[in-house]
Every structure is written in C-alpha cells, then in structure tokens.
A and B are shown apart, each in its own frame.
Chain A
Amino acid sequence: MGILTLLMNFIFVLIIYCFIFSIIRLIYMDIKSMNYYYRAIGNGNFPYLKLINQRELLNYKVEEAYLLSKDSTIGRQDKNTIVIKDPYISGQHAQIIIKEGTYYIKDLGSKNGTYVNDKLLRSGYEWKLTNGDKIRMGQVEFLFVDVLAKR
C-alpha cells in the first residue's frame, strides 16, 4: 500500500512537470522564431514571407518569417526549401520563382490549392507577387513583404 501511494504521488508530480515542459517547449519555439524573424529581416533587401496566423494555434513548427533569397519550394516533404508539416499542405505544394528581380508564385498541382488574396491560383499559372499579397495554403497564411518596394 505504501509503495502504491508513493508511485501514485510520483506519477502525479510527473504529470505536472510534463505539463510545464510542454509549455516551456512552446516558449522555446516562441523565442527561437522571434530571433529568426529579426535575423531574416535584418539581412538586407530580400523579400520575405511573414506568418499571419497565430502560431500557437498550429500544432507543427512554422517560423514567423521565411526569407526568399533564391527560388524556393513550399511543401510537406523534407526536400523542399520551406518545409511546413501541415496535413492540408501537399508534399510539393507551391513554388516561388525569381525572374529578373520579380517574384512569381506557382501552384505545383496541390490537392487543396493555393490562394492569393483569397483567390484560388490555377495550377501552373505564375502569379506576380507584389508587396502585401496574402498567400494561404492549408491552414497557414503568409504575407508577402517586399522590402525594396516600400522604399
């Protein structure tokens, strides 16, 4: 009986600390992404994708900002440049192409589609991105911020 009580108490304490650690893990992600965000912005003249969603509500890792310094692909598979483990995002979802300093977004035949400013992007069509465009795929929504366009 005594051992059983001790074991129960032990589990009880363990659960509380698990809870605290799960919260601390989120805080860690919070601070880490904040650092990444400032680094990305501080890096100069490249445009970046800024997350609009409240990141705490998403159950997977998403950065606060993604720097677009070269052609990038977005999707769930690890070989993509921007990996987002959202179940509603396809393995290879969309691509961002740079042609002579202009940015284009192209849907790579995703299952749930890519929306720019709430309009569905036709598969294969290259949309020219301008500062302030909202890009939505799966559960996440990004803002396209072009640093040069603002100056």
Chain B
Amino acid sequence: MFEIFTYRKPINYVIMLNLLAYLIMFCNLKPYNVETLAFGIGIIVMICITYFIILKSNFGDEYLFLIVCMLISLGIIMIYRLDNNTGIKQAIWTAIGIVLFFVTCMIFRLIKIWDSLAVCYMVTSVFLYLITLLLGRNINGATNWIVIGGQSFQPLEISKILYILFLACYFKNPDQLFFRSSKYDEAKRIYLNKFILVLFTFINIFFLMLQKEWGSILLFFLVYIIVLYVFGKDRIFFLCNILMTIPVALFGYHFVYHIRVRIDTWLNPWKDIAGKGYQITQSLFAIYSGGYFGTGLGLGRPDMVPAVNTDFIFSAICEEMGILTGVAVILLYMLLAYRGLKVVMKVKSKFNQVLGLGITTMLGLQTFIIIGGVIKLIPLTGITLPYISYGGSSLISSFIILGILQAISKEDYIDSDGEIDEGE
C-alpha cells in the first residue's frame, strides 16, 4: 500500500508541486480565497485520474504524459495566479484537451488509412486558410482568429497538424506520392512530386504571411527543412531549399515593415523603450527581478509585461518562481523531445517515423522560438509556448499532437511483441 508514496514515482512530485503552489498562492494573495485551494485540489484529482487511466489501460509510453503533466501544472498555476477566471478557463480547456488526447489515441490506432489521405490534408488545409482569410478577426495584431458562438479559435493550429501529416505521407516513399499511375517517366515524376512538395510548403507560408504569423512561418519552414534533411534522398534538392531562403529572408527584411521592426527591436530594444521595445524590455526586467528563486507566487508584478499569459508566460514564470524554474522548464521540454525521438527510433513503419519526428521537432522548435524570443536570444515572434501558454486552440492542438505520438509509441510496443527475429 505504501508503495504508492515512494520517492521513485515522478507523479508524486507533480502532486506535491501543485499542493505547495496553491498553498503559497493562498497565503500570498490577499484577501484569502478558499477557492484557490479547491481549484488546486480539482487540478490534482484531474491529473491523478488521467495518469491512472494511462497506467492501467497500457497506453504505451507513460513518460510523455508525465512530462506534459508537469508543464501543464506550471502553466495553470501561473495563469491562475495572473487571473483567476482565465485560470479556470485554462483548466477546462485542459480537461477537453485530455479527452481529445485519449480520443486521438484511439482513433489513430483504429483507423489505418492515415497514410493515404495526402490530398485530403492539402485540401482541408487550404480550405481552412481561405476561411480564415474571409472570416478572420484581428485579435492582438494577427488576423487569424475565427469567432464561432462567442468562442474564438485559430485554424492555424489545425493546419500545423495537417502539414505534418502531409509530410509523413510524402516521405513514406520519398518523391513517389503523386502521379503513380501516370505515363510520365521516372525522372519527370520525381521532379513533379518535388514541385508539389515545395508548392504546398509555400502555399502554407504565403497564407501565413497574409495572416502576419511570422513565428509560425519560421516553425513550418524549419520543420520542413529538418524532415527533408532526415528523410530526403536528394542532397542537391536540400541545398537548393536552404539557398532559396537567403534571398527570401533578405527580401523580407528590406521590404516588409513588420519583420524589420522585429529585427531592429531585437538588436537594440533600448532605443525605443516606451514603444516598439516595450514588450521585450519589460520581459527582461521581469526575468531579472525574479533572481534565482523568484519573488514568490503572488508577490511579483508580472502583469507589467504585455500578453503575459500567452506569449510572455515564460518571463512571468521566471519572475515569480525563479530563473531556476525557468531552466527546469527548458529541461522538461528537452526531456519531452528526447522521449519523442526515442519513440521514433523504435518505430518500424516509415509513415509513423516521419510523423513522430515531425511532431517532436515541431514541439521542440516552437519552444525554442518563443523562449528564445522572450529572453532576446532571437527576434521575438508571437507564438504560444506549448502546454503552458493560455489558449484553447493551442492547447487542444498540442494535446492532439501528443495523442498521435502516444499512439505511435504504443504501436512500437505491439511491433516488438510479436517479433522474434531481432539481432541478426
């Protein structure tokens, strides 16, 4: 019975952390609010139930979810501290996300035709972009929100998943996806396939440019390059892709006003501290004022930073929980990427390999782009920190991605069960 409380079970640390955090918040936030404790207990119960289900129903790799549990906990704690109502909303989104996580996991394993739907992914993706273009609302500077029944969401988050699925279809048999039954000869077919790959990537980038989503453009492009590097057969094609970016990037810097502002504020945010450099300098002040162990939950002033519960949540975490927690968050993402890559290494099917690699690199790069932006390592681009930032659509797409990864990890165990002829 007492084995449940062993120090070796990582889930116990997640529970302890939540208990402590909500206790600190209860003490520090005046007036005293019993709801804080109730909310904390609710979160703990939710995490425990989910973990129990994963453990009992043999869902494959359990550590993926444990790491995400820790990240989610930190995110909800921080958002609840910033604003109670937003915190409760985030908890509800998390609950929906977890349900979707299980559903995705099941569906992905039950339906086996994911690798033959490439055209569907492309059409749906373009359709979503067109809808966004027609019905999009402008919230916080980017025109990529759709409001349905008072609830706003970003179709972009779904396009991300569709793009990875498309890449997985394409690289299952590199350069053989389309025109398989046509009369063209081999060389021409490969050439046309590559053309479609590049074309679809650039359609994505073009629509994102219209939405002014610079961070996502970077994300899509880097995922494309990495997947091409790992699974592509043609070195020269890869080099061409790299070289092609240089003129595009230079063009963007010289002729697109937004990009130039971003890069200038990155090089010297102090020049226009009250205007364009305000966000980034406030973020740096916040990180600095936290010190090693932070000011304590509820005792700092993270609300000085604009967009603190979405893009700049990392600086809020650094301020109130300390830079050591910030480093811990980065370590957690590294571990998540490690688990993802380990799943990919063991998987046999090519489609799942590409899919797993795409998902892992997408999560890792998204973290790098936003944390790098917040600490002024790279130019700042607005993108959410997966699993921590506030935002329904971002959270849900992250959970769907995790569900796919979990399903793949399970598949890998099924494979190794029935297999004897290893180690020849």
Contact = CB atoms under 8 A, between A and B. Distances in A.
B413 interface: yes
A123 interface: no
Given A9-B322, A23-B63, A59-B8, A16 B420 contact: no
B26 to A, nearest CB: 12
Contact of A8 (B16, B296, B335): B296
Given A13-B328, A15-B16, A27 B10 contact: no
Contacts of B58: 54, 57
Nearest to A131: B420
Counting chain A CB atoms within 10 Å of each CB, the highest count among B10, B66, B67 belongs to B10
B6 A59 contact: yes
Given A8-B24, A15-B20, A143-B420, A23 B8 contact: no
A71 interface: no
Interface in A97-127: none
Given A20-B332, A57-B55, A9 B293 contact: yes
B357 interface: no
Counting chain B CB atoms within 10 Å of each CB, the highest count among A9, A17, A18, A59 belongs to A9
A75 B159 CA distance: 53
Interface residues of B, number: 45
B43 to A, nearest CB: 15
B61 A22 contact: no
B32 to A, nearest CB: 15
Contacts, number: 97
B264 interface: no
A56 B62 contact: yes
Interface in A1-40: 5-6, 8-13, 15-20, 22-27, 30
Given A5-B299, A56-B62, A19 B338 contact: no
A26 B67 CA distance: 13
Contact of A12 (B17, B335, B413, B420): B17
Contact of B328 (A16, A27, A50): A16
A10 B190 CA distance: 59
A11 B20 contact: yes
Q: What is the size category of the interface that chain A forms with chain B?
A: 35 or more
Nearest to A13: B324
Nearest to A51: B416
A8 B24 CA distance: 8
B267 to A, nearest CB: 33
B284 to A, nearest CB: 21
B13 interface: yes
A50 B95 CA distance: 39
Nearest to B324: A13
Contacts of B6: 59
B382 interface: no
B296 A19 contact: no
A12 B55 CA distance: 26
A19 B14 contact: yes
A27 B8 CA distance: 13
Interface in A39-88: 41-42, 50, 52, 54, 56-57, 59
Interface string B312-345: 0000000001101100100110010010001000
A16 B70 contact: yes
A16 B14 CA distance: 8
A17 B3 CA distance: 22
B40 interface: no
Contact of B321 (A13, A17, A131): A13
B9 to A, nearest CB: 8
Contacts of B14: 19
Contacts of B21: 12
A30 B8 CA distance: 15
25 contacts: A5-B28, A5-B296, A6-B296, A8-B20, A8-B296, A9-B296, A12-B21, A13-B294, A13-B321, A13-B324, A15-B16, A15-B20, A17-B328, A18-B7, A18-B13, A19-B10, A20-B331, A22-B7, A23-B67, A27-B335, A27-B338, A56-B63, A132-B420, A143-B420, A145-B422
Which 5 A-B residue pairs are closest in the complex by CB-CB distance?
A: A19-B13, A41-B423, A9-B293, A5-B296, A16-B328
